[in-house]
Amino acid sequence: MGYIDELNESQLVAVKNIDAPTMVIAGAGSGKTRVLTFRIAYMIEQGVDPFNIMALTFTNKAAREMTERIGEILGNGEARNITMGTFHSVFSRILRVNADRLGYPSNFTIYDTQDSKSLLKDIVKGFKLDDKAYKANNVLGRISSAKNNLISPDAYEQNAEIQAEDKMAKRPEMARVYKAYANRCFNAGAMDFDDLLFNTNVLLRDFPDVLNYYQQKFKYILVDEYQDTNYAQYLIVKKLAALYENICVVGDDAQSIYSFRGANIQNILNFKKDYPDFKLFKLEQNYRSTKNIVEAANGVIARNKDQIKKTVWTDNPEGSKISVVRNLTDNEEGKVIINKIYDKAKAEGLSFNDFAILYRTNKQSRSFEESLRKLNIPYKIYGGLSFYQRKEIKDLLAYFRLTANQNDEEAFKRVINYPKRGIGKTSLESVVIAANKYGVSTWDVISNFSQYPVAINAGTKKKMSEFTSMIKSFSAQLNTLDGYMLAQEIARSSGILKELHTTKDKGPEEVERYQNIEELLSGIKSFIESQREIESKSLSEFMLDIALLTDADVDKDEEKNHVTLMTIHSSKGLEFPNVYLVGLEENLFPSQMSLNSRTDLEEERRLFYVAVTRAKTNCTLSYATSRFQWGNLITAEPSRFIEEIDPKFLSHETPTRGGGRSLSGRASNFEQPHQGGLNRSFTSTSLKPINKVSSKPKVKGSETLDLKVGYNVEHNRFGRGKITKLEGTDANRKATIFFPRHGAKTVLLRFADLNVTDL
């Protein structure tokens, strides 16, 4: 058990206490994942059968990493016998085994957010409701909230308080929409992500034999990030653990930041009420951040009333103070922060991977993106369009889904006329209307027009019949043909490969789409090969795996050199040497919507705590004194969270216009950026001293100025530049100036608004 030696004293006792309800409160950077992993390994070494262990995480990536680490300690054989994965992946497998109990096929489809929104738009349109009042995103959020609180469509309809809320929100038909959505999903043999939890609760509630089976199977239950569980997740875990109560939850109430997704901090705060004889262990040593960062964060989070008290500490060096940067506008903030990143990377020889910009809302990325592009610095925004959400990928996946489940209405609508088969939108709508009328799936209709009459012409019916024949041929091979071979066959026979095949007339976007299909097929090949020791190598197994991917599971291109931009919510669980927390203004962070209650404000404070503790070495806080909102420039004031940090941990700075240097980020020689930006190793050579604004006055009518070729000047629109040519006299005097961001510009000096900078 040499791995045990890697643990500190607090971690060790948390690992060894395996036979009682246990709560491990793990401060930021305290080695939570290590404790969870080693605890499972230790349990197995103490004789616990891995088949009796269930470990629940919030990302597939975390589950895979833990399984791999346990495999390194004990051998892969034992690690594979543990039931480990996300709530959704573990419970979806339980549902597939027991789907018939609930009236679903075992190969039910899992709808993603895009599928759900598409279906809701169709329902709203069919009911002739106002699509502005019933926006798909808002309606889906309402339904999701209901399901996470285990409110069925019938219970929703009968709840007077809920009905009153919907009327106030000008959505009086919400219950009708919810019921139609549930029925359409059921008829399509589909569940959305929330159904995976809702239906697991129904299964365990209505079938005592199923509950007893899984209680006996999962005698030891471990839950990661317990503070992020919602009511549905909490109830499932409570039911499964009721018999043996060998439950261990790990988390940090100070990092509970997902209430908007239904997470309930009371689940972790009230653990002691559910299990009065529980044991509490606190992991308080931070291995990630400097003393200044740890103690500054501690001082802020200590103001929250709803928390489990702990004192996070570190043996790491004291480190630099937290920088606070004041900017005049949000655009200036973008310039200043990006110049700081450029300067620091250049001066210290750092990779751009060492830098992260965190913000409260996605819309704040604009000014930083603009400045990054102007400096030719590579960057990546997380939370954007993932690989599996690209059109060409979803198109092919829809064929895979329809092959496994012909009743999948959203997959059917997506590919019935792609590639084009001459099946028009009106004909498709007629099929959907008939399906709804008879309470069957769209597939049932097009497979039996004699039983379900539809007013479409014979030619279209023939094309639809040819489509069903093709899908049936794919389906017949689903359980006999290797998943990769079947995927290739579907991509070819469906016409997608031909549709996207590159020719000399295709542009780069078309080439990329074709390459994405190749990448998907390669991914299936890799997945199938990884299943060598597992009997099933079908395409259905791959579809189940990717249907349950979360944002955190998507490839982060970690090997590529780029600055990271993301919301604070997306950054949880990550760490960076240098973190820039931007937009720290009242009504932005904390959000204006959080200022009406202590509960909401305390969550915003936890969000700030999470942001600061992502930083390992340096943390910079930035705010603007004015910001554009809806086209209007408004005055802003610094966030209260800055004031809540002890001043001894802070260093305030007010940059000069443009961050004290040109936005080109270069000294007076204005060298052209290298191809690919600075995506290369830095040398130890430092930048030349930054040019400062000259004491010479700004002159309207700069023809009176004694300008010479080679002078450095600053233009109010184009920024800094170097004069490369002078010509003309008096009122016609002109200067050609090279601006690194805009190229060469010729300006008439009598109208130019220039600053002359030092030579």
DSSP H or E segment with residue 568: helix 568-571
Phi, psi of 197 (to 5 degrees): -85, -45
Alpha-carbon distances, residue 593 vs 589, 601, 603 (angstroms):
10, 9, 12
Residues 6+ apart with CB under 8 A from 53: 40, 43, 44, 82, 83, 84, 218, 219, 220, 221, 222
Of these residues, 122, 166, 225, 333, which one is catalytic? 225
Fill in the amino acid letter for 10: S
Of these residues, 11, 22, 109, 255, which one is catalytic? 255
Tokens of 689: 């001293």
Strand partners, 26: 283
Residues 6+ apart with CB under 8 A from 662: 691, 714, 719, 720, 740
Catalytic (active site) residue 9: no
Catalytic (active site) residue 685: no
Distance CA 219, CA 51 (A): 9
Beta strand 699-700 pairing with 753-756: antiparallel
DSSP H or E segment with residue 185: helix 174-187
Distance CA 669, CA 667 (A): 6
SS (H, E, C) 376-399: CCCEEECCCCCHHHCHHHHHHHHH
The alpha helices in 613-757, defined as continuous H runs, are 640-643
Q: For 211-229, give one letter per residue: b (16+ CB within 10 A) or e.
A: beebbeebbbbbbbbbbbb
Phi, psi of 452 (to 5 degrees): -125, 85
Distance CA 325, CA 469 (A): 65
Name which of 68, 75, 66 is nearest 35 in CA terms: 66
Catalytic (active site) residue 109: no
SS (H, E, C) 68-131: HHHHHHHCHHHHHCCEEEEHHHHHHHHHHHHHHHHCCCCCCEEECHHHHHHHHHHHHHHCCCCC
Catalytic (active site) residue 224: yes
Of these residues, 33, 266, 468, 477, which one is catalytic? 33
Distance CA 431, CA 417 (A): 13
Alpha-carbon distances, residue 748 vs 382, 706, 709, 728 (angstroms):
44, 15, 15, 10
Phi, psi of 727 (to 5 degrees): -155, 160
Of these residues, 11, 32, 39, 340, which one is catalytic? 32
Catalytic (active site) residue 32: yes
Q: Residue 666, SS3?
A: coil
Dihedral angle sign, alpha carbons of residues 532, 536, 537, 542:
negative
Distance CA 265, CA 262 (A): 10
Name which of 262, 125, 259 is nearest 180 in CA terms: 125
Residues 6+ apart with CB under 8 A from 530: none
Distance CA 407, CA 187 (A): 7
The DSSP output letter for 566 is: E
- Cβ–Cβ < 8 Å for 11, 283: yes
Of these residues, 39, 219, 288, 614, which one is catalytic? 614
Q: Which residues are catalytic?
A: 32-33, 224-225, 255, 614
